[in-house]
Amino acid sequence: MELVAIFVSAILINNFVLYYFLGICPFLGVSKKISSALSMGLAVTFVMTITAVVSWAINHWILIPHKLDYLQIVSFILVIASLVQLVEMFIRKMSPPLYQALGIYLPLITTNCSIMFLALLAALRNYSLAEAVAFGVGSGLGFTLAIILMAGIREQLDLADVPEPLKGAGIALIVAGIMALAFMGFIGMIK
Amino acid sequence: MRDKGLVINTKEDLAQVEVFCFIESCHKCSARSLCIGQDQSKGILSVKNPLKANPGDEVNIEIPDSKYNKALILLFGSLLLASLLGMGAGYFLSPLLLISSSAGSLLGLLFALAAAVIILFRYFQKNNKNYLYPVIIDIIKKGDYHG
């Protein structure tokens, strides 16, 4: 039951994008089309899940037993950067044109502050491995949900008569704010 | 998605194209150095060259967005699914291997990821890895190349 609460809470209540306002760069940058938003969401979910597992292992098997907790931030940065480098090397070898097309895509995941926050929050709350995985997958799916909803709205906005000064990032941020207000309705769902 | 570009080099079926909109849209971006390099202000793509464009030609290229998205969804979706299944399998098999459930989950994750990577690698090799290259669809203006 605790796992379900962590999972649902990470998706709907403590949504990284709409509650903590983290990961705004990919949220605004890759939310123009639903298909690209879905692929970005899946990429972030994968990296978040693996980060949650690897950072848990490093924290519980290396840092805490050797009283090196103060190295958490440095080691988590290293973990995230290494993971994304591995994914990048794999894609480069597997499909050079896909690697070429990704452009800013992979750096957007690497420099995504929500992934760092996930690792730190899981360590701070002293989650077990199963809880860390539920938190990682839930946070990733929450990000995916937010970015897909945003992409759907932005696709419709292309057809709307938006005032000139608000076109682009202006209206996107207003929509994000309204979505955040709507998601506040989920607070109280889990005590 | 379509873009205009200038052919700067050709090799076999591929051409190196300097894409104009890359420069315009990246011009004001503070994160530009992340994707196109600190000193480089040009976006250079390798593209398929069925029209045999030569260096100096101005061309239209088509970037297969939907193919990229499908490939990315397949890639990250299957890696995510494999990770979760591997961790689940490792968790339930850990008593048989006489290891803790955490160690079992991590081992399961490693094995599942390795298997997924091998399967994906073979899949992309088998399904013509070149299908994701952008294609030159039109030569707008011939350059002064006489080779």
- The answer to the question of residue A73 being in a domain is yes
Q: Give me the residue spans of the domains in chain B.
A: 2-64+133-146, 67-128
Element (DSSP H or E) covering residue B123: helix B101-126
pLDDT at B115 over 50: yes
* pTM of structure: 0.81
Which band of pLDDT confidence, cut at 50, 70 and 90, is reported for residue B39?
very low
Is the ipTM here above 0.95? no
Nearest-angstrom CA–CA distance, A96 and A84? 16
Neighbours of A30 (CB within 10 A): 22
Per-position DSSP letters for A74-110, written without gaps between them: HHHHHHHHHHHHHHHHHHHHH-HHHHHHHTTHHHHHH
Name the amino acid, one letter, at B15: A
CB contact under 8 A, A46 and B80: yes
Mean pLDDT for the stretch of residues A159-187: 88
Query: Using the beta-carbon criterion (under 8 Å), do A39 and B73 form an inter-chain contact?
Result: yes
CATH number given to B2-64+133-146: 2.40.50
Query: CB distance B34–A107 less than 8 Å?
Result: yes
Whether residue A191 is contained in a domain is answered as no
According to DSSP, residue A5 is labeled H
- Count: domains in chain A: 1
Quote the domain boundaries for residue A16.
2-186
pLDDT of the residue at B64? 72
Does B66 lie at the interface with A, CB-CB under 8 angstroms? yes
B42 vs A135, more confident: A135
A38 at interface of B, judged by CB pairs closer than 8 A: yes
- Residue B58's pLDDT band (cuts 50, 70, 90): confident
Contact A81, A51 (CB under 8 A): no
Q: What is the DSSP string of A14-29?
A: S-TTTTS---HHHHHH
Cα-only R_g, chain A: 18
Please name the residue of chain A whose CA is at the shortest distance from the CA of residue B129. Answer: A95
Confidence of residue A141 (pLDDT cuts 50, 70, 90): very high
Q: Tell me how close the Cα of A97 comes to any Cα of chain B, in angstroms.
A: 5
Spatial neighbors of B81 by CB under 8 A, at least 6 apart, are none
